[in-house]
Amino acid sequence: MTIQIFNSLTRTKEPFVPLEEGKVKMYVCGPTVYNYIHIGNARPVIVYDTVRRYLEYRGYDVKYVSNFTDVDDKLIKAANELGQTVPEIAERFIKAYFDDTEALGCAAADVHPRVMDHIEQIVEFIEALIEKGFAYESQGDVYYRTRKFEGYGKLSHQSVDELKIGARIETGDKKEDELDFVLWKAAKPNEISWVSPWGEGRPGWHIECSVMAREHLGDTIDIHAGGQDLTFPHHENEIAQSEAFTGKPFAHYWMHNGYINIDNEKMSKSLNNFVLVNDILKEMDPQVLRFFMLSVHYRHPINYSQQLVEDAIAGLERLRTSYANLKHRLGVTAGLGDHSDIWLSKIEAIKKEFIETMDDDFNTAHGISKLFDLSRLANTYLLEKQTSAEVLEAFLAVFDELADVLGLPFKQEEELLDAEIEALLEERISARKNRDFARADEIRDLFKEKNIILEDTAQGTRWKRG
């Protein structure tokens, strides 16, 4: 089986064939670190963390690079408003980014390059573009000659004449053409800046990723990814810059995740409906947010609403309950059970289906449905009068294996789930009836450790969390 990736460049699914056998070079555009990340930022982090996990699961050695934009108009504005320096703002929100994304089960990239650490390389890159005739200096700014690059518009599938001026593309008398975009900005009073051949200034937005991707992954990379909103102008401009500089393809596969809506409205500042991950995680299990994000195919838009979040909570709880019931039964099961080979083959079939669906453009929504198939099969098996340790262990192993690919590790759950408490309570009652006081005391001590309070009533023993 071969992984198929929907390539935004060709708008078709293509077999994934990396530049070097067994290795993947992957670049994901990271956040501008002037504030806490919102759920729109969180979606690509979760999506491409899962893509990376799956590629590694399929045996690839992945070098994963995701940048921080740590100098930008937004950082300068935030620094002025808060009376801090741009580096101080960047440090604060880079730390916050790691706190939030770690909570969401996202591993750090192999490299998190920062713009401020690459100023020298950026200047050299711009100098080369000027020398090749693709860029020009004008009153301390440097601009890219968009029309000179013959392939401009190939990612967004627009001709140069049809293009509208996009985000962060400024018009003005300094330009030769309104479609030209800035590579270097002349410094304004009291702004952070660096010395360059064109005077004091700082990099434009688009040049950063071209330089950092080449610095850490080489002239051509396997996968370049980011949000759909970055397709134009950011990624289009990256291609123009990089391919003019190297004369080689910049990236073979382009991946873009869909937008997030809030209660069926596009998330935007004007509507004041931005939802910060930092705020969500104060009230929500981080795994619920990850589960929610992966429950829709990454290329499709996703709607964030209270009802859909509650659906995600219920769905994740169902999976956790199945897992907890399997673990509990494994602790008390005896004998070999009946028809073990049949059950083992059914478990293996679900694992195979999971791989097939994830091979199809990383379809996590269908991947989660395979976890539910496994859960239903496990629930059916647990109705058997006699269960096999071998089958129970196989269920748990595949649960762990598939859930880990999705970044939803059930085995690391520390808090007892409701179903697990009920099962242990029944076991304690049975142990006491059978005068197995040692086991009854073990369960009592476990409840105490987990702050579960038992109450003996005329109707039986009840429990509550302390």
Least confident of 21-30, 156-165, 239-248, 348-357: 156-165
Amino acid 440: pLDDT: 80
Quote the DSSP letter at residue 1. Answer: -
The C-alpha torsion from 302 through 103 and 397 to 50, rounded to 10°, is 40
Choose between 339 and 405: higher pLDDT: 405
- Burial class from Cβ neighbours inside 10 Å (0-12, 13-18, 19+) for residue 371 reads buried
* C-alpha–C-alpha distance, residues 169 and 165, integer Å: 6
Check: pTM over 0.85? Answer yes or no: yes
pLDDT above 60 for 445: yes
User: What average pLDDT does this structure show over 260-283?
Assistant: 85
Place of tokens 């999971």: 354
* C-alpha–C-alpha distance, residues 80 and 244, integer Å: 36
Residue 161 backbone phi and psi in degrees, to 5: -70, -25
| CB contact at 8 A, 162 and 203 | no
Percent of the chain at pLDDT above 70?
Answer: 92
pLDDT tens digits for 149-196? 999 999 999 988 777 544 344 555 689 998 999 999 999 998 999 999
pLDDT above 50 for 328: yes
Contacts of 265 (CB under 8 A, 6+ apart): 271, 273
Least confident of 228-232, 365-369, 433-437: 433-437
Q: Does 113 sit behind a cis peptide bond, omega within 30 degrees of 0 on the bond before it?
A: no
Amino acid 421: pLDDT: 78
Could you tell me which residues are beta bridge partners of residue 462?
455
The two three-digit tokens of residue 275, written as one number: 């939802």
pLDDT above 80 for 399: yes
User: What average pLDDT does this structure show over 361-378?
Assistant: 98
Amino acid 31: pLDDT: 97
pLDDT above 70 for 459: no
pLDDT tens digits for 13-32? 999 999 999 999 999 999 99
Cα distance between the two ends of the chain: 50
pLDDT above 80 for 413: no
Give the model's confidence band at 66: pLDDT under 50 very low, under 70 low, under 90 confident, else very high: very high
Amino acid 447: pLDDT: 80
Amino acid 259: pLDDT: 93
Which DSSP string corresponds to 354-381?
HHHHHHBT--HHHHHHHHHHHHHHHHHH
Give the model's confidence band at 336: pLDDT under 50 very low, under 70 low, under 90 confident, else very high: low
Could you tell me which residues are beta bridge partners of residue 138?
141
For residue 398, give the nearest of 382, 377, 380 by alpha carbon. 377
